[in-house]
Chains A and B, each alone.
Chain A
Amino acid sequence: MKVMVVDDEEDIQSLFKQKFRKEIKAGQIQFQFCLSAEAALNYLENDDEASIVLILSDINMPGMNGLELLRILKEKFPDLKVFMITAYGDEKNYQTAIAYGADDYITKPVNFDSLKNKIINLE
């Protein structure tokens, strides 16, 4: 299962790789990291998108933000699952994300145990 993580912070890659190292080792999950929304869209359009099942996206990013990305993704790739992961737990962002069709809304600091459960449950 291929999961794309969109976040402008590079450290997030190391965190995810370490947190899911068992699952990665076991070949259960594959991560594709993108540092911006544009890069994510570019990847999805040019590569074989079918292999990506889930996108985890930050909201607050330079350039296109996560909510915008969410809107575009849900238009172009309606089958993709999108979880928003953000430090902004406020009502407005939450409502917008739900309105755009986000499949989950996870606030930082991320509780990886529950995230793992959610991802596994997708299958």
Chain B
Amino acid sequence: MSLEIRHEQGNGYPTGQSESSLGREHNKRSLMRLPRSLTTLETWGFGLTGHLLWISAAPAIHAALGPQAIFVWLPATIVAMLLNFQMQSLGRHWPEMSGGTPNYTARLLNNYPWLARYGAIGYFFSWLAVTTINALIVTALIQANLKPLGISCPEILLKIGFTAIAFIVAFSGTRALSILHLCFVIPAAGFLFVFCTQGIGWLLISPASPGFFPSSWPSFSFVEWAKWYFFAVYAAYACESAASFVADSKRPRETLRFLSFAAWLIPIVYLGGSWVMMRLATEPGLKDDTFLNLLAAAKLFWGPGASFMVTLLIVAGCLLIAATAVSNSPRVLYQLALDGHISPVFAVVSPQGVLGPALVLTFLLSLICLAWGDIAPLVMVSSTAFVTAYMTVHLGLWLGRDRPEVLWPWWSGGFFLVETVVLIVGGLAWNWQDLLIGLLLPIAILAVDAAIRHIAFPPFHPAWWIKLYRGQSYRISKDFVALQVGILIFLICSTAAIAWVIRATLDGLPGDAADNLLIVLVITVGFVGVAIATWTSLPQVVSMNEAREGAEHLFTIALDAIVVLDETGVIRQTNPAAESVFGIDATGLIGRHLNKLLPGLGNQPERWLSRSEQTLNQPDRNSRILEVAISDRFSQNASLSNQDLQEYVAIVRDISDRKQAEEALQKANEELEIKVEERTSELTHTVEQLQNEIEERQRIEANLRAMQNQIIVQEKLASLGSLTAGIAHEIRNPLNFVNNFSELSAELTEELFEKIENQAERLDPETSEDIAELLTDLKANLKKINQHGQRADKIVGNMLLHSRGQSGQWEATDINSLLAEYVNLAYHGMRAKEVSFNITIETDYDDIGEVDVVPQDIGRVFLNIINNACYAAHKKQQEMGEEFSPLLDVRTRNLRDAIEIRIRDNGSGIKPEVLDKIFNPFFTTKPPAEGTGLGLSISQDVIVQQHRGELKVETEVGNYTEFIIILPKKLGELKELKK
């Protein structure tokens, strides 16, 4: 659709203005772009308007200056030509810009925004005034023609009608106006060029020619020249109007190219035409009347038809100029609004390319001009605005001289100075009041714009217009044909009726006058007729066109190949997608039977499946798989049942990529599964590793805990040990005295006893006996003291052993020999204590090699257990007598990771009630003097905590006791930790 949000500024043109940046932001969001709807020819038509302006301007200048008018036209022509080339260059630089000259200038003057706006608005005003001026001219012409007939002329109605007609057409769409314009511009411009060239030719060749050059050149002042140059500029400079339509053009380059063509037409019209007028329109009394001047010249070489053709030229010219002005002026506003110079509302465009708000403002200003009504001051004011506008153009070109797209900047600077002089001298020569009004008018219009920008009246803001245009969608009338026919009938009937009335009226008139009036009326009626026709049917046509374009667009951009087949299956129509699917261009496809391409389809379309997959074999490409959907047979028009018109539509989609993708997907899936499996096994492996690690960790933790226990126990023992050691040592000192003094006292008692025995005869026997008895008791007591002192010393010694946990060194030890040594030691120790003791010792040593232990401590354990065993066996023997034979059985065994030591006696065993207490410290079953109760407690500490082994006991009351020591072989890590 043509309704789209404008999303970029033309060519990313930068602006330095802070004030307009807000408007610019607004533009970006809400405004629309002018559709590129005009053909090259239509834009060319608009580009010829400036040339037709010569018709209005030339007669006045010639009437005033005579032959000297040429010297006004000559510089104007040169500057106008250069301007055309200049605008062509700027247009190539900014092909997205609408409005032409004033808007290019506004960009060149972007550092002087107010100057830029002033110039552009001046230009806008001078163009819009043209509509009114031409309406006034045409009205005057009709009035002049009707006057001799005595018919009163509806002057105001005609003025408003001729002003409004172009606007009415313009409101129905740019396209309608441009086509209408084109219809009239070709004959009008044609007549003008023929007039100029034929006139020159006639002057050169014809025997009736008054001579090519004038006989004399009347002199004239600079002020006169400036006065008329001021006026000539208004026509000649306007030949660049094609530039205004570049943004509308479907081919902007071609439109711009026309500017150079238009440039070369300027001298033909402005110099050629003026020359013809100078030489041929010399009759006195012609004054500045356009019709009479042209007629005077033309009738010499056009003969009697001249009057008719001149009238046609003038009327068509005036209407065309009005049409161009109506198109050109809003475009200036549109581009100014886009560039942020004026209110954004003027940038609103309807889907038909109608610049609604800008057109409304232009129309209102035209009506104000019309209300003013007087041609001369209106021309003066708009000329002032025009000259001022071109001064800013030339100033802008000079200021922008560093830009590559600006041509001849120094010439422009010169022209600026000349125009300044012309404005002041010429303007004042005309009328200072009009000059002042012309200079102030753009400022007044800018003030109006400022008001529009700030007043909160909905139509002053883009949103209102956008809503209006969006809501207004032209629906195609249900019976468009009937509507069209109705309008045509109406137009033909009214034309016929008007013609009949005119003929009836004109019958009585002299030939020329009747003809002239006829042509004025015919053209006017034609214009009105076209306006009505376009106004009523153009929106319908546009909608239909849009619908058709939409359908064609869908057909063209469809990704699926669409082929239309006739009833035999021969391809009649294809779209671009079909060409790429089949790899054959449209010309190769059309006329071919579809089954030639897809052999899987049969000959007769009636039998084709509505949906199937076909293989397309191509010589130079891989075979493709196509999905083919065939429509039911249908007629192009449902109301016709003619067999010849029956068609099929086949939609063909290349699904080989999809198939390949599916296969690839399948493959990828399989690969993925394999990968998943691999990954799973990897994961399983990792999990196993992790589990192992966890187990390892747990093991280490367990070790650590055991270590901790050991450390705690050792700490406890150490603290207890250091305490007991301290106490023990201190106890040993008094014990030393107790033992020694008791021993000594025993000796002394013995000595005393001996001495008393020697002197016994001196005492009475009874006393002697008493003394002996007392001394014997005393000696026995001292022995007891000594004995218990020894016992205390033994306890202290054992306590000291208990506390000496850390004293030993780890070393690799042959457990068998250590065990044998302590068996021997224990046996002899027992033998030394008890003479009656004897025991049978059985040993069975397995090959267990060396194990890391603390030999002192392990030895003490062995000694302890063996002592206990011997003690138990001996005790039993004492109870049972000689028939019992004590037995000590010592054996070692090599387990895989440990060694086992079993020490067994055949004593009376351990009673179950004490079995769980035997490892408690200070628990003993021996009589008080014989055991300390620390032996097994120490042994358990040594085996379990220190050596990480096990100490177990197996026993049966009355039969045996067996202590089992298990020592792990690998104590390396434990040793490491200990360090």
Contacts and interface: CB of A to CB of B under 8 A. Distances in A.
Interface of A: 9, 11, 15, 18-19, 60, 87-91, 107-110, 112
A65 B474 CA distance: 126
Interface residues of B, number: 19
B741 interface: yes
B736 A109 contact: yes
Interface string B765-801: 0000000000000000000000001000100000010
18 contacts: A9-B733, A15-B737, A15-B741, A18-B748, A19-B744, A60-B729, A87-B729, A87-B730, A89-B800, A90-B725, A90-B804, A107-B732, A108-B732, A108-B733, A108-B736, A109-B732, A110-B736, A112-B740
A110 B793 CA distance: 11
A105 to B, nearest CB: 14
Closest 4 A/B residue pairs (Cβ) = A87-B732, A109-B736, A108-B736, A87-B729
Contact of A88 (B729, B736, B744): B729
B729 to A, nearest CB: 4
B696 to A, nearest CB: 39
Contacts of B800: 89-90
B621 to A, nearest CB: 100
A107 B800 CA distance: 13
Nearest to B738: A109
A109 B744 contact: no
B533 interface: no
Which of A9, A15, A109 has the most chain B CB atoms closer than 10 A to its own CB?
A109
Contacts of A19: 740, 744
A117 B800 CA distance: 28
A24 to B, nearest CB: 14
Contact of B789 (A87, A89, A109): A109
B744 A18 contact: yes
Contact of B739 (A60, A90, A91, A109): A109
A16 to B, nearest CB: 10
B744 A87 contact: no
Nearest to B728: A87
Contacts of B744: 15, 18-19
B637 interface: no
Contacts of A108: 732-733, 735-736
Contacts of B807: 91
Given A89-B800, A91-B807, A110 B740 contact: yes
A84 to B, nearest CB: 14
A119 to B, nearest CB: 16
B329 to A, nearest CB: 120
A87 B737 contact: no
Nearest to A58: B733
Contacts of A60: 729
Given A9-B737, A15-B741, A19-B740, 18 more contacts: A15-B737, A15-B740, A15-B744, A18-B748, A60-B729, A87-B732, A87-B736, A90-B725, A90-B800, A107-B732, A108-B736, A109-B732, A109-B739, A109-B740, A109-B789, A109-B793, A110-B736, A110-B740
Contacts of B725: 90
Given A19-B744, A90-B725, A109-B793, A11 B737 contact: yes
A110 B789 CA distance: 12
Contacts of B793: 109
Nearest to B796: A87
Given A109-B789, A109-B793, A87 B733 contact: yes
Contacts of B730: 87
Contacts of B741: 15
Nearest to B792: A109
Nearest to A88: B729
A72 B28 CA distance: 108
Contacts of A87: 729-730, 732-733, 736
Contacts of B789: 109
Majority SS at the chain A contact face: loop
A108 B732 CA distance: 6
A15 B735 CA distance: 13
A109 B800 CA distance: 15
A60 B726 CA distance: 12
Contacts of B732: 87, 107-109
A107 B731 CA distance: 13
B635 to A, nearest CB: 124
Contacts of A15: 737, 740-741, 744
A90 B736 CA distance: 17
Contacts of B737: 9, 11, 15
Nearest to B731: A87
Contacts of A89: 800
A108 B800 CA distance: 14
Interface string B724-767: 01000110110111111100100010000000000000000000
Nearest to B730: A87
A108 B733 CA distance: 7
A90 B738 CA distance: 22
Contacts of A11: 737
Nearest to A18: B744
A75 B26 CA distance: 111
A88 B730 CA distance: 9
Nearest to B797: A89
B728 to A, nearest CB: 8
Contacts of A107: 732
Contacts of B736: 87, 108-110
B735 A109 contact: yes
A11 B741 CA distance: 10
B374 to A, nearest CB: 137
Nearest to A91: B807
A53 B800 CA distance: 34
Nearest to A107: B732
Which of B737, B738, B741, B804 has the most chain A CB atoms closer than 10 A to its own CB?
B737
A91 B807 CA distance: 8
Nearest to A90: B725
Nearest to B790: A109
A88 B733 CA distance: 9
B754 to A, nearest CB: 14
A120 B739 CA distance: 23
A90 B801 CA distance: 10
Contacts of A112: 740
Nearest to A87: B732
Contacts of B729: 60, 87-88
A60 B793 CA distance: 19
A91 B738 CA distance: 25
Contacts of A109: 732, 735-736, 738-740, 789, 793
B783 to A, nearest CB: 15
A108 to B, nearest CB: 4
Interface string B713-731: 0000000000001000110
Which of B740, B744, B804, B807 has the most chain A CB atoms closer than 10 A to its own CB?
B740
A60 B737 CA distance: 16
A60 B740 CA distance: 19
Contacts of B738: 109
A99 B616 CA distance: 110
A89 to B, nearest CB: 7
B740 to A, nearest CB: 6
A87 B733 CA distance: 6
Nearest to A108: B736
A6 B793 CA distance: 23
Contacts of B733: 9, 87, 108
A110 B741 CA distance: 11
B730 to A, nearest CB: 7
A44 B124 CA distance: 139
Contacts of A110: 736, 740
B724 to A, nearest CB: 12
A60 B732 CA distance: 12
